[in-house]
Amino acid sequence: MTAASITAPLSTLRPDVDRITGRRRLRRNRRTDWSRRLVRENTLTVDDLIWPIFVIDGENRREPIAAMPGIERVSADLAAEEAKRGADLGIPAVALFPNVEMALRDQTGSEILNPDNVMCRATQAIKEATPEIGVITDAALDPFTDHGHDGILRDGIIVNDESVAQIAKAAVLQAKAGADIIAPSDMMDGRVGAIREALDAAGHSDIAIMSYTAKYASAFYGPYREAIGTDATLKGDKLTYYVDPANSDDALREAETDVAEGADMLMVKPGLPYLDIVRQVKDTFALPTFVYQVSGEYSMIEAAAANGWIDGERAMMESLLAFKRAGADGILTYFAPRVAEKLNAA
């Protein structure tokens, strides 16, 4: 195209442009607020939200998380209060993540098999206070190990089958404590099938499994690791069991395996950098598909907003709507109570 043609009237480049543009003006549907709402393809509602909550030992305890402004670790009694607040806002479910006392962490994460551990106590407290809200628990070992890995470490190697056996036992304990959904984030091979068998054998066949089916070896987890206390304990990296950020077919193979092993729901983590994976997983398997807007995504929005570089409220809502557009049925987000308040006020 020549410089002259760039500035030439459209009608001289395409003789039929006047006729076409006379019929089709895409801006017509965007002209007013009511028309934009009328033709909107995707809608974010409170029903789409899952609220992650960090829990700690003790009573009436709150601890701010420096890397996640506005987010705190709370003791089981306060977690129950937060869950009640979430239910009152219409949030369907909370997801619990423990920060375990360092003295209780060891090489195998044995504290996860304590039926009175902080995760189980928080689950019980929430279900007693607000039985109508869903409780999602993670059976991964990383908050319970002294090396910060999601499985058992032997001679510098994360041993798969021994880890899976322990994760399955932990899932049963969490179900007994009142968990409604087990969401294993460890990425060990075969863990979904093992958890399903263990739950069924223990009489918990109604407990669902939401598999972290495509959990990537991402740089966006940093603030989360501070929140659960593995930032100081993690030895090495998790590249041998998390999905490589360069791969998409690999994620689909993970999902195919999880579906075959009995997963009821699938999850992609992180969120915004992996919208293509959300879409592929949803389109390929047509199962309820969830996405985790992880700590790094939350903290970036908060930091940019605090510096006046972006409109934080708009960025928060836009990011969540992007997940819906990509095909997600629900979103784990630390923004959940703020978003619920905003949606309820609309």
Q: Where do the structural domains in the chain lie, given as residue ranges?
A: 1-40, 46-345
Give the tens place of pLDDT for each residue, 227-264: 999 998 898 899 999 999 999 999 999 999 999 999 99
Taking alpha carbons only, the member of 155, 136, 137, 153 closest to residue 145 is: 153
Query: Is residue 76 a contact partner of residue 118, using CB atoms and an 8 Å limit?
Result: yes
Q: How many CB atoms lie within 10 A of CB 263?
A: 25
pLDDT of residue 3: 47
Identify the burial level of 15 via C-beta atoms within 10 angstroms of its C-beta, where 0-12 means exposed, 13-18 middle and 19 or more buried: exposed
Query: Is residue 299 a contact partner of residue 225, using CB atoms and an 8 Å limit?
Result: no
How far apart are alpha carbons 299 and 255 in whole angstroms? 28
Taking alpha carbons only, the member of 246, 328, 335 closest to residue 280 is: 328
pLDDT of residue 14: 59
How far apart are alpha carbons 16 and 27 in whole angstroms? 19
Give rounded-to-5 percent helix, strand, coil for the chain: 50, 15, 35
Along the 346 residues of the chain, how does pLDDT read in single tens digits? 454 444 555 455 555 555 555 588 899 999 999 999 999 999 999 999 999 999 999 999 999 999 999 999 999 999 999 999 999 999 999 999 999 999 999 999 999 999 999 999 999 999 999 999 999 999 999 999 999 999 999 999 999 999 999 999 999 999 999 999 999 999 999 999 999 999 999 999 999 999 999 999 999 999 999 999 999 889 889 999 999 999 999 999 999 999 999 999 999 999 999 999 999 999 999 999 999 999 999 999 999 999 999 999 999 999 999 999 999 999 999 999 999 999 999 8
Marked catalytic residue, from 215, 238, 282, 324? 215
Specify the CATH number of the domain 46-345: 3.20.20.70
How far apart are alpha carbons 208 and 181 in whole angstroms? 5
Average pLDDT over the chain reads 94
215 catalytic per annotation: yes
Return the structure tokens found at 13: 């480049």
Query: Is residue 94 a contact partner of residue 334, using CB atoms and an 8 Å limit?
Result: no
Q: Cα-flanking dihedrals φ and ψ of residue 342, to 5°?
A: -65, -45
Which residues touch 29 (CB under 8 Å, ≥6 apart)? 35, 36, 38, 39
pLDDT of residue 9: 55
Q: Helix crossing, 76-89 with 336-345: angle to 10°?
A: 30
Taking alpha carbons only, the member of 68, 57, 209, 239 closest to residue 149 is: 239
Which residues touch 226 (CB under 8 Å, ≥6 apart)? 65, 66, 67, 68
Return the structure tokens found at 34: 């009511």
How far apart are alpha carbons 51 and 83 in whole angstroms? 9
342 catalytic per annotation: no
Q: How far is CA 48 from CA 30, 87, 287, in A?
A: 25, 13, 15
